[in-house]
Amino acid sequence: MEKAGHCFEWADIKQDLKALQEITIEDKGKTLAIRSECLGTCGKIFQAVGVAIPSTIREVA
Protein backbone atom coordinates (compact mmCIF):
# COMPACT_ATOMS: atom_id res chain seq x y z
CA MET A 1 0.00 0.00 0.00
CA GLU A 2 2.82 2.38 0.83
CA LYS A 3 4.40 1.80 -2.60
CA ALA A 4 1.13 2.91 -4.16
CA GLY A 5 1.21 6.05 -2.02
CA HIS A 6 -1.68 5.08 0.25
CA CYS A 7 -1.81 5.13 4.02
CA PHE A 8 -5.06 3.62 5.28
CA GLU A 9 -6.01 2.44 8.73
CA TRP A 10 -6.27 -1.37 8.93
CA ALA A 11 -9.72 -1.10 10.56
CA ASP A 12 -10.98 1.00 7.61
CA ILE A 13 -9.59 -1.49 5.08
CA LYS A 14 -11.28 -4.43 6.82
CA GLN A 15 -14.58 -2.58 7.17
CA ASP A 16 -14.65 -1.51 3.51
CA LEU A 17 -13.73 -4.98 2.21
CA LYS A 18 -16.35 -6.62 4.43
CA ALA A 19 -18.95 -4.22 3.03
CA LEU A 20 -18.24 -5.43 -0.52
CA GLN A 21 -20.77 -8.14 -1.25
CA GLU A 22 -21.87 -10.26 -4.17
CA ILE A 23 -25.07 -12.20 -4.70
CA THR A 24 -26.20 -14.46 -7.51
CA ILE A 25 -29.68 -14.52 -8.94
CA GLU A 26 -31.27 -16.76 -11.52
CA ASP A 27 -33.82 -15.46 -13.98
CA LYS A 28 -35.14 -17.03 -17.18
CA GLY A 29 -32.36 -19.60 -17.29
CA LYS A 30 -29.55 -17.07 -16.73
CA THR A 31 -27.45 -16.74 -13.61
CA LEU A 32 -26.20 -13.26 -12.79
CA ALA A 33 -23.69 -12.14 -10.17
CA ILE A 34 -24.36 -8.69 -8.77
CA ARG A 35 -21.89 -6.95 -6.49
CA SER A 36 -22.30 -3.97 -4.23
CA GLU A 37 -20.61 -0.63 -4.80
CA CYS A 38 -16.95 -0.26 -3.81
CA LEU A 39 -16.90 2.24 -0.98
CA GLY A 40 -14.16 3.99 0.95
CA THR A 41 -10.73 2.42 0.53
CA CYS A 42 -11.99 -0.63 -1.35
CA GLY A 43 -11.20 0.45 -4.91
CA LYS A 44 -7.72 1.68 -4.01
CA ILE A 45 -6.98 -1.58 -2.18
CA PHE A 46 -7.86 -3.62 -5.27
CA GLN A 47 -5.68 -1.32 -7.42
CA ALA A 48 -2.73 -1.49 -5.04
CA VAL A 49 -2.67 -5.30 -5.04
CA GLY A 50 -3.21 -5.52 -8.80
CA VAL A 51 -6.62 -7.19 -8.73
CA ALA A 52 -9.41 -6.10 -11.06
CA ILE A 53 -12.74 -5.26 -9.46
CA PRO A 54 -15.43 -7.50 -10.93
CA SER A 55 -18.14 -5.90 -13.03
CA THR A 56 -21.17 -4.71 -11.09
CA ILE A 57 -23.39 -7.15 -13.00
CA ARG A 58 -22.03 -10.13 -14.90
CA GLU A 59 -23.41 -13.35 -16.29
CA VAL A 60 -22.14 -16.49 -14.57
CA ALA A 61 -21.77 -19.70 -16.56
Looking at residue 6, its pLDDT comes to 83
Q: Is this model's pTM higher than 0.85 or not?
A: no
Pairing of β 57-60 and β 22-27: unpaired
Sheet with 22-27, strands from edge to edge, namely: 22-27, 30-35, 57-60
Given a cut of 90, whether residue 17 has pLDDT beyond it is yes
How far apart (Å, rounded) are the C-alpha atoms in residues 28 and 47?
Answer: 35
For the chain, which residues make up each domain, given as ranges? 10-60
Per-residue pLDDT of 18-60, as tens digits, reads 999 999 999 999 999 999 999 999 999 999 889 999 899 999 9
